[in-house]
């Protein structure tokens, strides 16, 4: 079985040494979705158009969270990000899908940053709609693709549900 790399000889967690790794351009895309009551989505749609834009707040929250990743995930390296973008799509019924893309030119990848942006954007939607729908579910949060770096290209292979 492959070894986990985050532990030292005392079997305690460490921040893995990446001093010798090469600086390369890296990208990671993550996704996740938040399932809600159909009326909640209708309310968000309506708001986006005229009463107040929930997704604009989620967008800002996700981008700012990407920059906070190393303060939240203990063994994560601080990575100066060179780009963060977030897109929302929905099924026009009861679910908003969030897709985040994070870029850097650094010695480690930005998968965790992309996933974190995704989760925080989803949780911001939850926060802003919770007064009308506390039963929302955040689900299917996973890495979609990553490129750059020694471990090479990764593309998520969806399990047959």
17 catalytically annotated: no
Indicate which residue of 53, 94, 127, 133 is catalytic. Answer: 127
Among residues 99, 90, 86, 97, the alpha carbon closest in space to that of 38 is found at 90
Phi, psi of 62 (to 5 degrees): -65, -45
Among residues 75, 74, 85, the alpha carbon closest in space to that of 121 is found at 85
CB nearer its own copies, residue 64 or residue 93: 64
Q: Which residues on neighbouring strands pair with residue 98, listed in sequence order? A: 32, 88
CB nearer its own copies, residue 56 or residue 93: 56
Answer yes or no: are the C-beta atoms of 88 and 98 closer than 8 Å.
yes
Q: Is 77 annotated as a binding residue?
A: yes
CB nearer its own copies, residue 2 or residue 160: 2
Q: Is 113 annotated as a binding residue?
A: yes
Q: Is 132 annotated as a binding residue?
A: no
Answer yes or no: are the C-beta atoms of 126 and 152 closer than 8 Å.
no
Among residues 20, 16, 22, 21, the alpha carbon closest in space to that of 3 is found at 16
Q: Is 106 annotated as a binding residue?
A: no
Answer yes or no: are the C-beta atoms of 134 and 36 closer than 8 Å.
no
Q: CB 101 → its own copies: shortest distance, Å?
A: 9
Q: CB 93 → its own copies: shortest distance, Å?
A: 14
Q: CB 48 → its own copies: shortest distance, Å?
A: 10
Binding site listing for substrate: 75-77, 112-113
Binding site listing: 75-77, 112-113
The residues annotated as belonging to the active site are 127
């Amino acid at each position: 079985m492959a070894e986990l790399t985050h532990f030292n000889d005392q079997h305690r967690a460490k921040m893995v040494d990446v001093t010798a790794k090469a600086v390369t351009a890296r990208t990671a895309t993550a996704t996740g979705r938040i399932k809600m009551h159909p009326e909640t989505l209708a309310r968000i749609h309506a708001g986006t158009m005229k009463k107040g834009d929930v997704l604009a707040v989620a967008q800002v929250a996700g981008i700012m969270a990407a920059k906070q990743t190393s303060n939240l995930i203990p063994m994560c390296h601080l990575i100066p990000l060179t780009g963060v973008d977030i897109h929302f799509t929905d099924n026009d019924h009861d679910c908003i899908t969030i897709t985040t893309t994070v870029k850097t030119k650094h010695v480690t990848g930005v998968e965790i940053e992309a996933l974190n942006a995704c989760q925080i954007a989803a949780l911001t939607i939850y926060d802003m709609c919770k007064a009308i729908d506390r039963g929302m579910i955040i689900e299917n949060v996973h890495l979609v693709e990553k490129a750059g770096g020694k471990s090479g290209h990764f593309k998520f292979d969806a399990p047959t549900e």
